[in-house]
Amino acid sequence: MKNILITGGTRGLGLEYARYLSKKGYNVGLTDISEDACKVYKEAKSINHILSEIESNGSKVWCEFADLTKRKEAEEVVENFINHFEKIDGVITSAGGDISGNDPDASGGKAENNSFFISFSEHENIFQRNYYTCLNTLRAVVPYMQEQKFGKIVTVSSVNAAFGVEKETTYSVAKSSILQLTRSLAKELRKDGINVNCIMPGPTKTGRFLSTLKGRNPHDLAGINSKAKLDRVALPEDISPVVEFLLSENSDFVSGEVIRIDGGLFPQPI
């Protein structure tokens, strides 16, 4: 069985990936900011409930809490994951979010001024939780993958990275940096046999999304109650099959790609 590390793995899309992959025969390691992060948006009763659910799918599961904006903590998470599972086959850098999250559980909320003139402290906070959680995790993971000459990396950007956004400017810039990091790293790791790809989900009905509807852009809210095949806001389960493809042998010759998952909402070039 493949061993996959998922950051931001106890809520939102990270939790959905864990549930989906465990049903597909993957072992999963979860990391998040705190033990209570899974309860902030009422997506799970407790960590123990999540672990029991995943184990009931026949997969091994491991969990550790850390602040991945701190490089040392990211290194410790990866080292402990390796010690537990013995090797790492893939990583999904799902930690992030377009909210400030100053409290210990990173519940947070939209910045009071979420435009270009967002406060510098809020700018730093959002950039840290999106770009640096990804960078720090990959800086810790890649050496192990280089040693074993194998690995699947899936980074998580956003459709906001591909066009100008009137609000959520900092979030868009941070997600754009992940996109370019993916492409550069894919080129650098070709010789090591490591695949690096990026997904760009559109508006998706996670707990966080639904809790911040008042602060959302019009494009986030369009089609929120639609039952159409494409013209709607995504469900978390719409994203997971694409992630699983990028972790599977079916994507062994796919690297450096950026895949938008938004039902065709923004079909312009990335």
Question: What are the tens digits of pLDDT across the range 67-99?
Answer: 999 999 999 999 999 999 999 999 999 999 877
C-alpha distances out from residue 200 to 146, 186, 252, 270, Å: 26, 16, 20, 10
pLDDT band at 184 (very low <50, low <70, confident <90, very high): very high
Q: Helices (DSSP H) in the chain: which residue ranges? A: 12-23, 47-56, 71-85, 120-127, 133-148, 169-188, 207-211, 218-221, 240-247
pTM: 0.93
Buried b / exposed e over 183-194, threshold 16 CB at 10 Å, is bebbeebeeeeb
DSSP secondary structure string, 228-247?
-SSSSPBPGGGTHHHHHHHH
| Number of C-beta neighbours around residue 222 at 10 A | 14
Residue 106 has pLDDT above 80, yes or no: no
**Mean pLDDT score of the chain:** 91
Structure tokens at 91: 């990583």
DSSP secondary structure, 144-183, as one string: HHHHHT-EEEEEE--GGGGS--SS-HHHHHHHHHHHHHHH
Tell me if 232 sits within 8 A of 263, measured CB to CB: yes
Res 196: pLDDT: 98
Report pLDDT for 133: 97
pLDDT at 94 (0 to 100) = 97
The answer to whether residues 204 and 223 touch, using CB atoms and an 8 Å cutoff, is no
Greater pLDDT, 191 or 213:
191
Report the distance separating Cα 237 and Cα 124, nearest Å.
31
Mean pLDDT of 170-191: 96
Q: Give me the residue spans of the domains in the chain.
A: 3-257
Instruction: Examine the pLDDT at 175 and tell me if it is beyond 80.
Output: yes
pLDDT score for 228 = 83
CATH superfamily entry for domain 3-257: NAD(P)-binding Rossmann-like Domain (3.40.50.720)
- The mean per-residue pLDDT over the stretch 188-214 comes to 85
Rounded Cα distance between 81 and 72, Å, is: 14
Across 82-91, 226-235, 240-249, least confident range:
226-235
Residue entry with tokens 């079916």 = 250
Return d(Cα 74, Cα 181) in angstroms, integer: 18
Task: Read off the pLDDT band of 13 (50, 70, 90).
Answer: very high
